[in-house]
Amino acid sequence: MSKVISSSLGYPRIGEMREWKRALENYWNGESTQEELIAKTDEIRLNNLKKQKEFGLDLIPVGEFSLYDHVLDTSATFGIVPERYNYKGGKVDVDTYFAMARGVKDAVASEMTKWFNTNYHYMVPELDHAKPELVENRALAYYKEAKEKLGIDGKPVILGPITYLKLSKGYEPEQFASLLNQFVPLYVQILKELAEAGATWVQIDEPIFSTNASSEVIEYAKEVYGTFSKEVPGIKIIFQTYFERLFNYKEITELPVAAIGIDFVHGKESLAQLKENGFPKDKVLAAGVIDGRNVWRADLDAKFDLVEAIKEHVSEDRLIIQPSCSVLHVPVSKKPEEKLDSVILGGLSFADEKLQEIVSLTKAANEGREAAKAAFEDSKKALEAVNASHRSNEDVKKSTANLTAADAERAQPFAERIKAQDERFNLPLLPTTTIGSLPQTAVVKQTRTKWRKGEISDAQYETFVKDNIKKWVEIQEELDIDVLVHGEFERNDMVEYFGEKLKGFGVTQYGWVQSYGSRCVKPPLIFGDVYWEEPITVKESVYAQSLTSRPMKGMLTGPCTILNWSFVHDNASEATVMNQIGLAIRKEIEALEEAGIKIIQVDEPALREGLPLDKTKWEEYLDAAAYAFRLSTATVQADTQIHTHMCYSNFKDIFDAIDALDADVISIETSRSHGELVQTFEDNTYTKEIGLGVYDIHSPRVPSVGEVKHNITRALNTISPKQFWVNPDCGLKTRKEKETIDALKVMVQAAKEAREEVLQEQK
């Protein structure tokens, strides 16, 4: 390699118009055959590769495409299938693969949790009784496909064995080494087969080494990659990390691999590490210099300066320029956007645009800044236009600048508040509720689309929403649920909806990003100071409350989640933006309370997700997140009950922060982790009220009364029945109506049986 080359780490799976999502869901719904599913996803994958070739990337990743999740793909590669799916060995078929992801009638889905500090969810491998073997070399198949069909000598992407095992469950810490020894020969086999097929570069993703956990496994890395080097000397391995700086920089850069991939964007200390320690002369540095996780256009002049600073320590023939991580985490292309403000649109860079930025930077690195003059000037003009546009609000700046600790404290402690709330609501023991959203059927989505296109009037749409609210209030009453929700039929997404209503935000038409499986979200854009202008949710909540004498929850999204699930302009301080959002949500809470809504849920599912990978930075982040939440809820009366909700997190890491939110009731997912979360509450004292989700809404299967009751009973061994609420583990918008009603019926029945048993014990 005689010059700087360009590369990428991975590309979005979903297609420009979410063709991948539709292909999956058509298959799951029985509307297409497996052959049609495979043909369509093959087409999407090849189009993705073709596009990257046309951009002029030197190293194009292959094998990172997935039918659901790349961690699940790794499990399937090695035949890691839990016993409950009756897997008999050999290549994991498509339906078994989807069963692990979604569950089937007689087998619950595998646990799902966040991929490091992103909003992407992966399927947690279960290694109980695992006997790994290489049942399918997916990397080889995709490498050959790209080479034979498109003439692309691709860079196979594989999830590394150490990260895979650290993300898995079902083994004791002392078993780690023996398990790793079972996987290493299988990885060697994959690499040998790739070498025989002609592959030169292989990207092995080891993001665990961008966390503090790397210190525990650094010696294993030396052994594992030493084995790879010895057994497959012809393959050039890129040891790829991302999302943070390298921990154990010196040890990692000395590993016997051809290249080290380092994040120079979110790893803010990476350049300093490079300057202080240098870089081995015999290795290539794969430098992540374009942000793979945010959508704002790069300042190419500043990025070129960064590349030049890196080149002071790494020769041109040993440098790869690439994104900071896979561009899986951003939308595909901004080309389809037609309605977004032209200035904001000009300041955006989605996956396709980011890869073109990489190519322009590489050209400039090889030939000088002038060689990419047009791209650099276009970048400069676009960013200057964004920075000069409607971004600043002096009143908002003043309100956040003068905040104090007292601004985020409720007037009464929980012990006093809960007495006032119990007296007001008079709920039964083990009260039942749902998390907020109810099924968004095809008709709901189609009607919203018609309204947005102007095909139906505002009045017609409002009537439609009211009809759905009325229908589901009646269903909830028939099911005998204690605290009701209006269903959120007017909302497209729990963050995007608020992005449409609050000032300082912009929203895209097609800016979709995969969250889990076929579920995609469209994060709003925060480009300016955030503030509240008028009520957002009051009309629907008040209408729903008018239909029932039971308490109706007002449903809001919290400041930390809105921040983490939006694309925030990188000139903004995240803590400041979070407080601005907190003050805006406070005004909405006050409007709900004034309108008579006395139970208000402020969801924070992204609280843990935003944790820095460096644990030494946790306290600062968690303090800021808890403060912003309390800021939003501090002004309510004692008898107004504040709920919050979180899902799919390792809650033991943030237990103190959960307590610091000072919410009256918190609901948390626990069903997919099979009750393991309860352990956190067995080990810690929690004095407020809590609902541990008793069944999994991300799976279409309906649980049995026994399953749900088991989850309730286990929780009651630790949590007082006076504290405990019964609810699903998350919102129900993705579920079908019949399965939702059937599952809620089971949940209520299980709660009633458990309630009766508790009351009998108390006599």
Binding site per annotation, positions for Zn(2+): 645, 647, 669, 730
Contact assessment for residue 266 and residue 218, using Cβ atoms and an 8 Å cutoff: no
DSSP label at residue 117: T
Q: What is the DSSP string of 482-513?
A: SBB--B-TT-S-TTHHHHHHSEEEE--SS--E
**What sign results for the dihedral spanned by CA atoms 562, 566, 569, 570?**
positive
Q: Which tokens belong to 316? A: 């041109």
Burial label for 736, CB within 10 Å (0-12, 13-18, 19+), is middle
Q: What is the 3-state secondary structure (H, E, C) of 79-91?
A: CCCCHHHCCCCCC
Among the options 390, 486, 698, 710, which is catalytic?
Answer: 698
Judging by DSSP bridges, how do beta strands 689-692 and 724-725 pair with one another? parallel
- Dist. CA 385–CA 692, nearest whole Å: 48
Closest CA to 56 of 3, 1, 7, 2: 7
Closest CA to 344 of 551, 525, 106, 615: 525
- Dist. CA 553–CA 602, nearest whole Å: 10
Query: Could you tell me which residues are beta bridge partners of residue 204?
Result: 158, 239
Contact assessment for residue 141 and residue 148, using Cβ atoms and an 8 Å cutoff: no
Instruction: Give Cα separations from 152 to 49, 320, 611, 639, 731 (angstroms).
Output: 8, 18, 38, 65, 43
569 belongs to the catalytic site: no
How many alpha carbons fall within 13 Å on the CB side of residue 736? 10
Binding site per annotation, positions: 18-21, 114, 435-437, 488, 519-520, 565, 603, 609, 645, 647, 669, 730
Residue ranges with strand state E in 390-485: none
- Dist. CA 180–CA 616, nearest whole Å: 28
Q: Which tokens belong to 240? A: 């790829």
Name the residues annotated as catalytic: 698
